[in-house]
Structure 1
Amino acid sequence: MATFPDYKDIYVFVEQKNSQPAEVGYELISKARELVDGSPELGYKVVGVLLGENVKEKAKDVIAHGADKVIVIDDPKLKDYSTQFYTDALTQLIEEFKPSSLLTGATVLGRDLAPRVAARINAGLTADATAIEIGKDVKLNSRNGVREIPNEDALLLVTRPTFGGNLFGTIVCPDTRPQMATIRPKVFDLAKPDPNRTGEVVEFAPKWTEETPLVVVEGILPKEVAGVDITKCEILVGAGRGAEGALDLVEELASLLGGEVAATRAAVEDGFIAKERQVGQTGKTVRPSLYIACGISGAVQHVAGMEKSDYIIAINRDPEAEIFKIANQGYVGTVESVLPALIAEIKNIKASR
């Protein structure tokens, strides 16, 4: 049975653009901090990984968000994202420092980079995870019987939706290191930074396997962003198939509350709401202060994208709907019957102020 005495610590790839770290990197730092603090017997550290040009100064921010150490690769070749150079750099960093686990945001960049690195080092990778924890006293069933994993191996238990989002599976990689996972933004809490935290900053210089870029970027055109980014909204009114006949009420409620309309995959595929407003496993993950689920059954595919909302109100005509199991408050009835009363009450409250 493989053991890994030389591999330790939880590493987090902190994605950046124009020298500005992405929020998902800090979310993963916060989660790694929680895991390490919850298993002090391991003696592990949280290590941030920063790749780019002129990014060394950002190491202080990574430490403030919870890292004990930051490894910086600062090189002009890394100014803009390059699959070639980022893969080379991160692979060499892993081979040099030997992390037990490596977490990456499941962003466009992370989904390109992580599998390439995993293939280079022949490591296991779990994609689009929604939960992680360090396993203790883990026993795995195998063809040769029950296999016990030593606690000092710090087995990472990674949970993700599977079978089209109808089930959640927990995946482990007991035979390779580092244990790699990409994790969707907004899944974990972002802890408040502590500017007084101190940590170690290490600079690492990779030896490029190829100095000449195989792909040359001639220019970058900024993406035109249409509409609103629902991942940044504090109030969302979600519309499911049960609200398709009352979208005017859904929009009115969202407007009264100063929020925005979100949707399930069903409402999007039926052509009622734009794709960029879709919440769920195949949409966006949101964490608003208030989420009002209108005519939403509560299928795991949708719930995976909004269950971390601070307060959830559910409206559904089926008293047995799954959405009520995660709701803080629920109303049994059709959207057409409940929303007019709710809208009228909000208007009365506003008029009395």
Structure 2
Amino acid sequence: MPKSRKNDTSEKGIMRKTLAEIAAIVKGEVVGDQNLVITGLSGIKEARRGDLTFIANPKYIPLSRTTKASAILTPRNVEVPGKSVIRTENPSLAFSRIASLIFEADTFSPKGVHRTAVIAKDAVIGKNVAIGPYVNIESRAHVGDNTTIYSGCYIGHRTVLGKGCLIYPNVTIRERVTAGDRVIIHSGTVVGSDGFGYVWADGKHEKIPQIGTVVIEDDVEIGANVTVDRARFDKTVIGEGTKIDNLVQIAHNVIMGKHCIIISQVGISGSVVIGEGAILGGQVGVHGHLTIGKGVIAASRAVVTKSIAPGQKISGFPARAFLAEQRFQAALRRVPDYIKIIRGLTKRVGELEKKVKKNG
């Protein structure tokens, strides 16, 4: 059997930088030993000697005194006695950028075009494109410069992928879909599947042709096992910079604005319009043909049954103003106590009625 190897940065030797070098990457200020060598990145609880960790939430500040990390990324107003630190405006963002730069060198990606890839003769493949094993690219598809397509992906007829896209294994992007630049799509996702449309005729469900398409704008990231249905007519749109978690269903003709956040297991029915910067928490459901305004925040498991004005925070089933739902839930939890009180009062009233009748 092969020998096991710990999956850490120091053993792989892909990270060996001084605090001063790291601080320069994130425009931070070193307090302590600038020449301290960092060989790994880790969370504050799991960190070991040689690791760099970070504090983004004030509740973790006490852990800075017990962590085994050699250095810590901190906000500019935090002091950690006995530890070398890098002070930054946003430690979490700084940590993420360091990780991206350091680990990029250790990330496997295909190089060139694999011999088993099936590419139509009239497909257009840009410069510096990487295409993995068993990828199928159909007629008149267009793949932009510096795009990487991992193994087992399907790129449909006349589909366009922009520059710098990253398509992970076993993604299906069907015909006539357009994706902008720097789009990331994770494994198992299907883009451009038929919208769920049927009409009842002659005692059966007759399929309505879904002849529209899907447009994914620049800098969108779509998680694993997401389905984005094509429009019945026109297009389903995922706005620029939007981030979609795993296991999300987006139905036909949805129009999603820029920079939305859609968390796992959200279901969005057909023809919904979602405003810029909206956030839908996990397992939110949205009824069809509604408008969710700019900046709306829907808490986890909310069920949206009517259109929501911009800037609202909602929760519950059916969804309503967040604070109203919180008050309702608080009252609901007291119902068992109220039942006991009512039963007690009912009993006392009955006893008083008996006394009145007896004395009357």
The TM-score, its normalising length taken from structure 1, stands at: 0.24
**Higher helix fraction: Structure 1 or Structure 2?**
1
The TM-score, its normalising length taken from structure 2, stands at: 0.23
Q: Which has the higher contact order (CA 8 A, sep 6+)?
A: 1
Which of 1 and 2 has greater Rg?
A: 2
